[in-house]
Amino acid sequence: MTSTFPFRAWRALAAVLLLAAAHAAGAVTVDEIIKRGKLLVAIDTNNPPWGQMNASMQPEGIDVGVANLMAKYMGVPLEIVPVTSQNRIPFIVTGKADVVLATLTITPQRALQIWYSIPYALQDSVIMTTDNSPIKSFDDLNGKRVSVVRGAIQDALVTRLAPRAQMQRFDNDASTIQALVAGQVDASATGFLIPAQTTKANPGKTYVSRLKLGTQHIGIGMKRNSPDLLQWTNTFIYHIRANGELSDLFKQYFGMPLPNDMPSF
């Protein structure tokens, strides 16, 4: 009887090659973006000051500003693809956007799903409370209700630093902050700019950064196996760091210049 081993081996090899080809086909190149005539950027427009809609219902924020610069230097119009913390990575993996700029902290776990550029931004994550809160340490969070955006880096940080905190997870930043304002939780895990914004939006109340969770560097995400797009994106970030355009955006939205010691890899 004729052995079926060679046929089976060929079929297995063909399956591997087809899978690799399909994966590679999904990795868009800079030339393909230019030929298409637009850059698709996934941005969370419900996350000020990173991304938000202004009074004229136009998107703005530091992520929007960087995306506009990216499209300018690529020589194509920008098309924003709205995303949330939960679907920002799936939108890249499934090819619904070319890149994602949505306060995407660089982590080894996420790098298993997407590729990261060198950092273009950073932020401190904090525990926000009212100014009269008794919470002074991470131990004080044990048994306390803490709101956080589902899937955000702050979720993992609080879980590690205060494992007995009662995590209350929400789908977006607005709901996370509103839970604290409404007294539904005792604290909120968020970005370092949020306490001042929340205080300004709620006259008569004062919100403060009570505890620091850590500093995170933020990169532009793209589909894995995209060496052409990654190389161009890293070159772009280097350029806007060097010519001051990125620092100008930081001053505009954060009120401070971009730190000089931003890492690269």
Q: Model confidence over 156-173: pLDDT tens digits? A: 999 999 999 999 999 888
22-120+219-254, CATH topology level? D-Maltodextrin-Binding Protein; domain 2 (3.40.190)
pLDDT at 12: 45
Q: How confident is the model at residue 26 (pLDDT cuts 50, 70, 90)?
A: low
* pLDDT over threshold 90, residue 104: yes
* pLDDT over threshold 90, residue 240: yes
> Same CATH topology for 22-120+219-254 and 124-216?
yes
Structural domain boundaries in the chain: 22-120+219-254, 124-216
Q: State the chain's mean pLDDT as an integer.
A: 90
* pLDDT over threshold 60, residue 121: yes
Q: HEC profile for the chain?
A: CCCCHHHHHHHHHHHHHHHHHHHHHCCCCHHHHHHHCCEEEEECCCECCCEEECCCCCEECHHHHHHHHHHHHHCCCEEEEECCCCCHHHHHHCCCCCEECCCCECCCCHHHCEEECCCCEEEEEEEEEECCCCCCCCHHHCCCEEEEECCCHHHHHHHHHCCCCEEEEECCHHHHHHHHHCCCCCEEEEECCHHHHHHHHCCCCCEEEEEEEEEEEECCEEECCCHHHHHHHHHHHHHHHHCCHHHHHHHHHHCCCCCCCCCCC
Q: Model confidence over 48-58: pLDDT tens digits? A: 899 999 999 99
C-alpha angle 41-42-46 in degrees, rounded to nearest 5: 130
pTM: 0.81
Does the domain made of 124-216 have the CATH classification 3.40.50.360?
Answer: no
Closest-CA residue to 79 (of 94, 95, 59) = 59
Q: How confident is the model at residue 19 (pLDDT cuts 50, 70, 90)?
A: very low
